[in-house]
Structure 1
């Protein structure tokens, strides 16, 4: 299969020789995910940045993080990542699947990270997900003619290490200390200056641990919070659950449609989320946050159903983990506003990396550490604390590891369908084994969720704070 014609003509115009390197298949005869293959091969990738003066192309290795500040310092500009829809349009018009790592594409000013120039041989994104271009050093230098070489990217590997040598609390305090340069207060919750838990959330947490709690206790709490009540009813009435007849009351929603456990966890997840403010607009705003939460909760619900009964974790806990999995993100927005803005810009410019890498680069800690620490302070169940803390570590084997692995699998399955942020990469077979989950059933589960996506989006719209 030849490389895209626009790439061929660019290379032949410059009279550059190249080889084609096919993307290998994995053990299930599926082609490796493009993001994953680029990363493994340390191949060159390309990103388009823009500001009011126009567009710039940047080429760097897929195992590095693009440092937007360094690019802007170098050019004296205020560039940020081009909008995904503009990139999509660009790719369509040139018949490409991704942006090829070739300088002067469409005549753009091009910066190349210095680490690429020193290699004897270079693999590069060809714009086609099934193959990479292979250049010798001389061949690549020939194409680099008019490009600017500079130091604009940092290695990912050191940023991917989850430091467990010191406690999360110490790391968070360290990050807050660097952030505020103020005297560190004695306790984490004071240091983070987080809003107190709402009355509703406190009552639900008490209800959780009360063995005699029943449906009327729960209905009573939900009914005293009008916005929560409206959300639970709209959730139960959504086409996703296709309940027969009208939902007449909270009691009705619990008994006929959602069940005690589900409403308890749903109400808890929603009332915790309301404690934080998050920008309403944009790809990093409240609506994408709640959409991701709803998709994750629904996907995890499906995955738990696909696990054989003897190995199944608690439905309610797994669901709550899905709803709250990204809670640390709300803390980032609430506690570190200037960093949050930088985070959003860097995340847009580095869609090929996981968020933890960018958070460690900026702050030295991750949202998972923040989320888990806060859940612990708020006396949330240990299953949720562990699930949130270790969700990005598929090798974690402690008690309640199942909840962390469920979040890990659900998140990767959704990313493979372009839902949520982050690269598309394979799920290690071992994680499916640890969960006693048949991979094919997992893929079917997520396909069903995608089919219900309009119903789930409707639910998320109800949850996101309105103006």
Structure 2
């Protein structure tokens, strides 16, 4: 079926004309927009909100960020975003992540942004992962009859009349338009050493000891209470052989050395202080999950540690826009990072390549740096809930770790995830999740201290 059952019945009952557009099966609305090859500015999306009075649908242009305080003021209600589980219950005939922006078909009251009803042509989700719906302006107004209108999005801008970019085009444009930082020489040497199956702890220690700052940070890491090593650690080689192991030292050193490619402010929810805290917590959780899932612990740690490098690249290339993004993140905790990035970068034609999101940007950078494929994939699609494909377990581990960290105010996303569904995708039980949360409690002070030392 190309159109969700309830939506199809509603449109037929109202006599509303529309056209189905088949696309390749995709995992998210973002991917559907790209797959369609249609102008992004023609797409609508729905945001679901709820309070004690029930659920409400807000309809706005794709890529615009819903201004929750404005919506609350307009409606006079204390609305908050629905969880993924609540959305699934309301839209049981739809594929997850493909909510049609036609609330009347699901008996929901609708508020529509003032930029929407005047459009001559729109594209919207059909409720399925393999088709879209096209409507003219008249059909749209019939479908949204009875909706209340108002200013609902951040600064009210859409994304202009631009074609969606493929990731291959993004990678090509990034390399042509911007001076991308090369992997620092020390990081490159460490990476090459990790690919040598005959490399020794002594060789790794000697490489690290050429850099006094990196040496001090590795020693601090080995001596931290995270590992409760009872004896003295007097050298990097002892840190490798007695406490941390080759892979862990190599990966943390690779992360520390790689970060030196970027000039990013320390402060703010997206600054370097928060980056290190988020990355270390995520790496710890991914490494802890790995044995339960049957994947490589070292790669899992590296995926968690490096998954957010796209944010550093954005901050490095565009410090002014990064500052704006940082401010928007703090002022709009309920809005997705994707929407905020669209808001900041989707407005300017010379920067639209960055509007694909920091995840995709980070994945492209990791590919250029020739990092392992799971690390590339975990960075590239960690914003894409519902991802299925290559290195899926590594992606899901990062997503579950981020979901658990959101509950603690750690990270760059704060809209809630369906933790049970993410855990189930990895074969983890509720008891496993509870144990992961207990593990975080146990090591939090030490991770905080380590993060502070790395960002200073």
TM-score of the two chains, using structure 2 as the length reference: 0.65
Alignment of 1:41-440 (within 5 A): 41-43=48-50, 112=74, 116=75, 124-125=78-79, 151=151, 153=153, 166-171=165-170, 188=175, 191-305=177-291, 307=292, 311-363=293-345, 364-427=355-418, 429-440=420-431
Structure 1 residue 416, shift from structure 2 partner: 1.6
Alignment partner of 2:261: what SS? coil
Q: How many residues align?
A: 332
CA distance in 2 between counterparts of 1:155 and 1:444 reads 42
Say whether the 8 Å CA contact 1:42–1:63 is kept in structure 2: no
Cα distance change on mapping 1:247 and 1:366 into 2, 3 Å: same
Instruction: Calculate the aligned-residue CA RMSD, in Å.
Output: 3.7
Structure 1 pair 100–279 and aligned structure 2 pair: CA distance change class (3 A): closer
Deviations 1:247-282 (A, max 9, x none): 110011111111111111111111111111110233
Displacement of 1:444 after TM fit? 2.0
> In the aligned structure 2, how far is the partner of 1:455 from the partner of 1:100?
40
CA gap 1:411/1:63 in 2 versus in 1, 3 angstroms: farther
How far apart in 1 are the matches of 2:416 and 2:392? 21
Cα distance, 1:424 vs. partner? 4.5
Rounded Cα–Cα distance in structure 2 between residues aligned with 1:422 and 1:431: 16
- Paired with 1:303 and 1:340, the residues of 2 have a C-alpha distance of 32
- The alignment partner of 1:321 has SS state of helix
SS of residue in 1 equivalent to 2:78: strand
Change beyond 3 A, Cα 1:362–1:173 = farther
Contact 1:303/1:442 (8 A) holds in 2: no
What are the superposed Cα offsets for residues 339-387 of structure 1, whole Å, 9 maximum, x if unpaired? 2122112212221022122112332221111111011011111110011
Name the counterpart of 2:3: none
Instruction: Label 1:420 to 1:447 Cα distance change in 2 as closer, same or farther (>3 A).
Output: farther
Unaligned runs of 5+ in 1: 1-38, 46-59, 72-80, 82-98, 104-111, 117-121, 130-135, 138-148, 177-187
- 1:204–1:221 Cα contact (<8 Å) kept: yes
After superposition, the Cα gap between the structure-2 partners of 1:341 and 1:402, relative to the gap in structure 1 and judged at 3 Å, is same
Gap change, CA 1:423 and 1:281, over 3 Å in 2? closer
Q: 1:444 aligns with which of 435, 442, 451?
A: 435
Distance change (3 Å), C-alpha of 1:61 and 1:349: farther
Q: CA deviation at 1:197?
A: 2.0
Q: Distance in 1 between matches of 2:65 and 2:302?
A: 37
Deviation at 1:452, TM superposition (A): 2.1
Q: Distance in 2 between matches of 1:70 and 1:283?
A: 19
3-state SS in 2 of match to 1:42:
strand
Q: Within 1, Cα distance between the matches of 2:65 and 2:405?
A: 30
Give the gaps of 5 or more residues in structure 2.
1-45, 84-108, 111-148, 346-354
Deviation for aligned residue 1:63: 7.5
Change (3 A) 1:170 1:303: same
Structure 2 CA distance, aligned partners of 1:442 and 1:228?
34
The corresponding residue for 1:10 is none
- Alpha-carbon distance between aligned partners in 2 of 1:349 and 1:68, rounded to the nearest angstrom: 15
Q: Which residue number in structure 2 is paired with residue 27 of structure 1? A: none
Matched, 1:456 2:447: yes
Q: 1:343 to 1:255 in 2, by over 3 A?
A: same
